[in-house]
Amino acid sequence: MNNFKISKEYKRIEIDLTKKIIFEMENIPSLIENNIFVWGFILYDKNIIDYFNIEDKLNHLKGHFFGVIINNDSITIFNDITAGFRVYVYEDENLLFYSDNYRIILKNILKNHIDFDEYELSFWKEHRFTTGSRTFIKNLNKIPPASLIKINKSKILSTCYFKDYDNDPDRKALLCTIRYDLEETMKLLKDKYNKFILFFSGGYDSALLAAILKRLYIDFDAIFIKTNPIYKENYSDYINALRISNLLKLNLNILEISLDKNNLEMNKLILDDLLFDRHFALLFYYTFKLLSKKYPKDVLLLFGQSADSVFSFGPTGDNLGGIIRRILINYPFCPLNIIFKEVLSKRIKKKFICPRNMEEYFLAFFDEKEYIPLLREDSYKRKIYLTSIINQIKRENALSSLMYLKLFGFLQGSDNQVIYKAANAFGFKNVFLPYAQPSIIYAICKYKSKFIDTFIPKYPVKNLLKYYLPNVKIKKINYKMEKEYPEIKIYEKQVEMLFINYLDKIRSNQNGE
């Protein structure tokens, strides 16, 4: 392609087609081959070029990544199924500008002029993240999950490669598919990386990954992050991790991080990285800061993150509250839901409304409160806006629609972004979430039983643990501290105020105050 310019470090690519197209990236590509440029972490088992012969093969790529293929008279842009590698985009009549750092677009294109998208800002305040293709700043958008964009001299064609499967519950097929995918993935990783670190919480998800690594004779360090001061959730996880690691005969490494509420440099880093993905991120940033002093940057970091969302769409508690939430998700028009609605309304002190049709159900699922897929009275203020988004992305099959809504909402948002961003901030590029990959996501769409899931959340993980560890009983217990330390609330409030104060400052500048 003659109208093609690229910088020496591959951080800026310029192409003239139907518009001027610019890719200006903070990170350098992790893969460059035959005019294929890929950023992020990408895992494949063949020649990389083989994956781009047909669109369907994108669904066999694992990792979090963003890529560009430059042909003679066109380019193809793609990302991973969860949009884990976040890329922002600005578009006008003459320009398409892509960047992995929103500040580059704000500074160079928008000239730091910010107009708020009030609908997205409202969604962000409620959920801590914006929807899958937008931010709360007008004209600053995101590449949605599972995107495939083809651009030539005459047109731009944007599609979503996420598949729409019919759901036919099959426990055996589900377990076999997930087991095969996890084992083959770990074998492939073993061939590429010498050192594995597994973040071990003592829960079902990390226990299953540990069991598979041991079965395949893959050496790994299991680590648990303990906070100082410790808080009740961390304390319970700590006791569970010690107990379960002992059952699995793991040598558990305890890394203790001390939080510093006066670390202005860390606070600025969090605000810059996670403006659109508000999160109590201090734990993660301090964790990777500590890891950077103990491990080389080329280690592979494994997380059980995303399992709750992928397997049970969020609520995985074995208690009555968890069961009620899963009934509401799996059977949205069950007559009992009227009773559940009243119970939850009193408990959460919000007035809920049962959805009357699939459109309202998808809205309630996407705009949920504490994993409760019921409509709220105040949700009608943004009903038209969110419904328009949902109608554009939903599938024919209900379960596939719910999965893509989860990808378009929670999975592209705060909880995954905080891992990728915090790791990247301290030089760790090889971060992998085994449960947030296409084969497992599609297996759930095809074979999951809503009935079993209602009463046994994440049953594929629990069943596979019995397969790998038939003589070990894994059960997470909620341990209570004798004394609770209030300091953690101070840190949470501090991080929360970082974001709120920043927005207030922007508004003040706009109003000339």
DSSP characters for 262-297?
A: T-HHHHHHHHHH-TTB----HHHHHHHHHHHHHS-T
pLDDT confidence of residue 303: 97
Q: Measured between alpha carbons, how far is 211 from 215 in angstroms, rounded to an integer?
A: 6
pLDDT confidence of residue 484: 65
pLDDT confidence of residue 2: 62
Residues 249-271, mean pLDDT to the nearest whole number: 85
Q: Measured between alpha carbons, how far is 142 from 98 in angstroms, rounded to an integer?
A: 9
Q: Measured between alpha carbons, how far is 138 from 134 in angstroms, rounded to an integer?
A: 8
How would you classify the pairing of strands 12-16 and 4-6? antiparallel
pLDDT tens per residue across span 126-182: 999 999 999 999 999 999 999 999 999 889 999 999 999 999 999 999 999 999 999
Instruction: Tell the burial category of 292 from Cβ atoms under 10 Å away from its Cβ (0-12, 13-18, 19+).
Output: middle
Residue 450 sits in which domain range? 171-308+412-495
HSE, side-chain direction, 13 A CA sphere, residue 126:
20
pLDDT tens per residue across span 347-404: 888 888 899 999 999 999 999 888 889 988 766 667 889 999 998 888 999 999 999 9
Q: Measured between alpha carbons, how far is 323 from 154 in angstroms, rounded to an integer?
A: 52
Of 57, 181, 162, 244, nearest in space to 434 by CA: 181
Residues 9-38, mean pLDDT to the nearest whole number: 91
Q: Who has greater pLDDT, 324 or 230?
A: 324
Same domain for 304 and 187: yes
pLDDT confidence of residue 452: 97
pLDDT tens per residue across span 81-99: 999 999 999 999 999 999 9
- Cβ(437)–Cβ(185) below 8 Å: yes
Check whether 23 has a pLDDT greater than 90: yes
Residues 96-115, mean pLDDT to the nearest whole number: 91
Same domain for 50 and 141: yes
pLDDT confidence of residue 48: 64
pLDDT tens per residue across span 488-501: 677 777 778 888 88
Same domain for 418 and 387: no
Residue 264 CB: number of other CB atoms within 10 A? 8
Give the domain CATH number at 206. Answer: 3.40.50.620
Whether residue 286 lies inside any domain: the answer is yes
Report how far Cα 415 is from the mean position of its chain's Cα atoms: 6
Same domain for 207 and 76: no
Of 492, 131, 429, nearest in space to 281 by CA: 492
Q: What's the pTM value of the predicted model, to 2 decimals?
A: 0.94
Phi, psi (degrees; rounded to nearest 5) at 134: -135, 165
Quote the percentage of the chain above a pLDDT of 90: 66
pLDDT tens per residue across span 381-393: 678 899 999 988 8
Domains contained in the chain, number: 3
Whether residue 511 lies inside any domain: the answer is no
pLDDT confidence of residue 486: 62
Of 88, 101, 191, 183, nearest in space to 140 by CA: 88
Whether residue 449 lies inside any domain: the answer is yes
pLDDT band per the 50, 70, 90 thresholds, residue 37: very high
Same domain for 150 and 218: no
Whether residue 501 lies inside any domain: the answer is no
Same domain for 421 and 376: no
Q: Measured between alpha carbons, how far is 282 from 161 in angstroms, rounded to an integer?
A: 35
Last residue of a domain, one of 344, 376, 411: 411
Same domain for 292 and 435: yes
pLDDT confidence of residue 379: 62
Whether residue 369 lies inside any domain: the answer is yes
pLDDT confidence of residue 18: 85
Same domain for 86 and 183: no
Same domain for 421 and 348: no
- Widest distance between CA atoms in the chain: 70
Contacts of 43 (CB under 8 A, 6+ apart): 61, 62, 63, 185, 188, 189, 192, 432
Residues 301-327, mean pLDDT to the nearest whole number: 93
Last residue of a domain, one of 411, 443, 472: 411
Same domain for 393 and 458: no
pLDDT band per the 50, 70, 90 thresholds, residue 507: confident
Check whether 22 has a pLDDT greater than 60: yes
Q: Measured between alpha carbons, how far is 17 from 156 in angstroms, rounded to an integer?
A: 10
Check whether 51 has a pLDDT greater than 60: no
Q: Measured between alpha carbons, how far is 247 from 225 in angstroms, rounded to an integer?
A: 19
Whether residue 507 lies inside any domain: the answer is no
Residues 281-299, mean pLDDT to the nearest whole number: 93
Same domain for 464 and 406: no
pLDDT confidence of residue 258: 83
Give the domain CATH number at 112. Answer: 3.60.20.10
Whether residue 137 lies inside any domain: the answer is yes
Same domain for 118 and 28: yes
Check whether 413 has a pLDDT greater than 80: yes
pLDDT confidence of residue 78: 95
Last residue of a domain, one of 160, 194, 220: 160
- Cβ(401)–Cβ(377) below 8 Å: no
Q: Measured between alpha carbons, how far is 108 from 460 in angstroms, rounded to an integer?
A: 48
pLDDT confidence of residue 47: 66
pLDDT confidence of residue 478: 79
Check whether 267 has a pLDDT greater than 90: no
Residue 6 CB: number of other CB atoms within 10 A? 16
pLDDT confidence of residue 232: 79
Q: Who has greater pLDDT, 506 or 330?
A: 330
Whether residue 417 lies inside any domain: the answer is yes
How high is the mean pLDDT of the chain?
90
